[in-house]
Structure 1
């Protein structure tokens, strides 16, 4: 997380004394509280519009919702007025979003090009509840990008942003929990993966508290184990070699304020004992001291470690965990709050552009010009799993902005393209006997040179792996899709009906390789459709 100038994890909070239930409600349940299907802008010629949202209220009432270049309006969450997409390359004919049980059917009709995760969509495509909860990237005319997802219902008394970017259900819940516990002196344990913004949450807790003392932060994993106790609790003269005078520790430095202990799971057993004593008595013993010193601080700790597993292994004290977790906040990983990716990227990109003197990219540009954030790049960002979470997104934004310095659009370099590639595990290589001999051609061919039969042979030889077939035919991957679109006999996974997919799934017992061969479509795209329809969860 980062401190924004613009208004960011599904968070479930609980305490050792009070049980607080999760506040997310699956689409299709509890009509009065269920989330609303929404579209959030991820790419647009006006960069500052990233993060604007269209709530598809009509779907909850059983009505279809049309979308075209001229209507309806997208607006910043919490603001009453907005603008339509206004993309002159989009068709004036409407794309329809239609209720389909617990899912949504996107009906394209005769409108222009629309893709999802790089795959062209035709006719109609149904997205099940699992896909909606994860978020579905859509690109219109390869220029404007949106994320189809579930958004929290608007709140009349929504908490302030608290220095956090985003409008997901997760960040709304987090802000509410911070407001509830901030003015109390109860210890708080913040849990979440690396890079999810635990220190920013700790700062928000301190700033909303009644304490007027300083906010002091320390990473226990960065303290040398032999000096950790003295750094935290202070020391008296002669306590150890080199201790020539009394020295205050971080607890005393935070007197009257908040002490934030990051990576608390890295604390040594000796430090754990001393922390437990402070939490139980409100007193600490500087290293070498015989008398306790009273302390008045609010303790906030954070970790990405499995403390329960450490307790089972004898590496962490159970009583300390219970003391630290007077109130517990869990921060969702970025991959679970994809609708926050575009506004977060905009926030970080704005900082980098200001530093480079290239803030002009943020001003409105000719709607006929290429968008500064290409829609296919935006889709990659939305689909990336982000193991480093918000910290990794910030680094990627910096790399993209600096690497594209002086350019009119963001461009991926080879290293970053590798980091963001969608196929995390490459598919199995086809056997040599199955692959037709490759011609020795120096230059890339034109797609018009590839006949339908040659295309079909290459796709079958490579088990319908579009990327490998394109490489074998020496044409661009996008050209494969263009050829398939023109072919009367070759289909995409998106062309398969729900009934045909469901029948094949059960007939092949969920084996994707067998399904891909049987249906003769891309395994990767097939897997995406199976997930969209929730067939895996139905099978289990």
Structure 2
């Protein structure tokens, strides 16, 4: 990621009362979309609302400023009226927006605002999209005050308080020798955080080795991580260095550490405690000077309860714990992230004039309706999904004057999102009884699930493990345990290369069909397909 400075972690020279005041949330307007696209991310702090003073905003003022910058400018769009919109506070965590007759047309999401509208705590925490004159999209939300620092952005785009908190964590731990555990949903940028730690550490001149532990077949994991002597196992025709030794003097990043088999967990624990590794087939330990950073999207504490993860290993891995927020919790960054990825994609297409040359008074390059849908979407795939969707929109809009989403993308964006802001909340309907053929399972113990019931649930769910776990009424970690212990089920790691290759040809690379035929999880099968170089499905 990219962009501006962030909160300074040093508070020693700051008076206590000032620190306490600066830690109180304030109301902020952040630009999501503007006819001048690079203005995404600029913000106006409505700081006077806390003291009972209203803020008047029009096209001529006040100034919107990038966090950390000293100079800014008003919205300056001639389609926005000089007659101001008025923001005031009706309580410590409530904001009211008033629109005067004949002033700027305002939509709250996709609903016209007439007169006044009050926004409560939950809406402000999630962020309220405001569309001005059909051209400028602002997000009204709460944030901690921005305290500039000279430390830089650490390669991360965004100015939201959760993004700044991650930067602070990176600075706190970067120069230490302790292992770091990075937690966060898939696609949220955990490897980017690991690289930032490495680049700010004393090991920055050493190697940074990144390994997806979940993609390594469990029978090869020990050799891949710790090395192997020649002839240590069938097919071992030369000595293997291993990732720990490859990262000597630098940093080893292990993603999906929650997927480590039990025997690998024990070896990782020994390596952390002694600084030594035993190559497979070797009799003498090898000393390594490698800092270990791990990442997971799994609930390791739950896996400890289930008996699939060792508690001592978690305690050693989490010398310092960093939580990377999902994108839905940093919606104020979506506009600047979209602009960043769009600029990268345009440069890769050779269209370098791209965003910077657009006329400020022309039609908005990012239509307001599309910007609102981007802000409202729940982003289950996080930043990785946003990058991919941005690429598709850019490529699908080549030759057009403005961006446009294909019907498929429109459907995807409409599939997951909060209810439209601006509508009066409707009473929740009474829950309908579940369909007889598909009863909603209540939470129960894994020991209550029979092997036959487990197999039936997996087949009915087309080997979608999340859906199968919900059907059985157990957690996904519990489902993994049941699959591992089942005498009648295999995992993707149990399949031979020949069996996978044959099924890949017969199913023409359709992973869903392959998962149903081979009766293994699609996610695990996808890893094996990549490892075997069979290409994308």
TM range (shorter): 0.7 to 0.9
Counterpart of 1:103 in structure 2 is 94
Q: How does 1:51-450 map to 2 (within 5 A)?
A: 51-101=41-91, 102-110=93-101, 111-157=103-149, 159-211=151-203, 212-421=205-414
The CA distance in 2 between the partners of 1:425 and 1:47, in whole Å, is: 25
Moved more, 310-319 or 153-162: 153-162
Deviation at 1:357, TM superposition (A): 2.7
Instruction: Report the count of equivalent residues.
Output: 416
Deviation, 1:278, is: 0.4
In 2, the alpha carbon distance for the partners of 1:493 and 1:168 equals 24
1:111-141 deviations in Å (ceiling 9; x for gaps): 2321112111110000112211111100011
Match of 1:49? 39
Contact preservation (8 Å) 1:216, 1:259: yes
Asked if the contact 1:58–1:65 (Cα under 8 Å) also holds between the matched residues in 2, the reply is yes
Kept in 2, the 8 Å contact 1:47–1:361? The answer is no
**Which residue of structure 2 lines up, in the alignment, with residue 37 of structure 1?**
27
Q: Deviations over 1:44-99 (max 9, x none)?
A: 11111111111112212210001111111112111111111111111211000011
Residues 132 and 53 (structure 1), Cα distance of their counterparts in 2 relative to 1, 3 Å cut: same
Change (3 A) 1:200 1:40: same
1:260 is paired with a residue whose SS is strand
Q: Which structure 1 residue ranges, 5 or more long, are not aligned?
A: 11-28, 427-465, 467-491, 502-509, 515-540
* Higher relative contact order, structure no. (Cα contacts within 8 Å, ≥ 6 residues apart): 1
Is the partner of 1:322 in helix, strand or coil?
Answer: helix
Q: Matched residue of 1:421: which SS? A: helix
- CA drift of 1:320 comes to 0.7
Partners of 1:9 and 1:168 within 8 A in 2? no
Q: C-alpha deviations, 1:454-506, integer Å up to 9, x for none?
A: xxxxxxxxxxxx9xxxxxxxxxxxxxxxxxxxxxxxxx965x7xxxx8xxxxx
Cα deviation for residue 423 of structure 1 reads: 6.0
Q: Is the 8 A contact 1:9 1:336 kept in 2?
A: no
SS of residue matched to 1:125: strand
Secondary structure of 1:154's match? coil
Q: 1:336-383: per-residue Cα shift (whole Å, max 9, x none)?
A: 011011111111000011122333331253343211011111111111
CA contact (8 A) 2:6 2:68 kept: no
Q: Secondary structure at the match of 1:512?
A: coil
Q: Secondary structure at the match of 2:28?
A: strand
Name the residue aligned to 1:7: 4
Q: From the superposition, tell whether residues 322 and 73 of structure 1 become closer, same or farther in structure 2 (CA, over 3 Å).
A: same
Using the size of structure 1 for normalisation, the TM-score is 0.74
Partners of 2:133 and 2:182 in 1: how far apart?
43
3-state SS in 2 of match to 1:139: strand
In structure 1, what is the equivalent of residue 517 of structure 2?
Answer: none
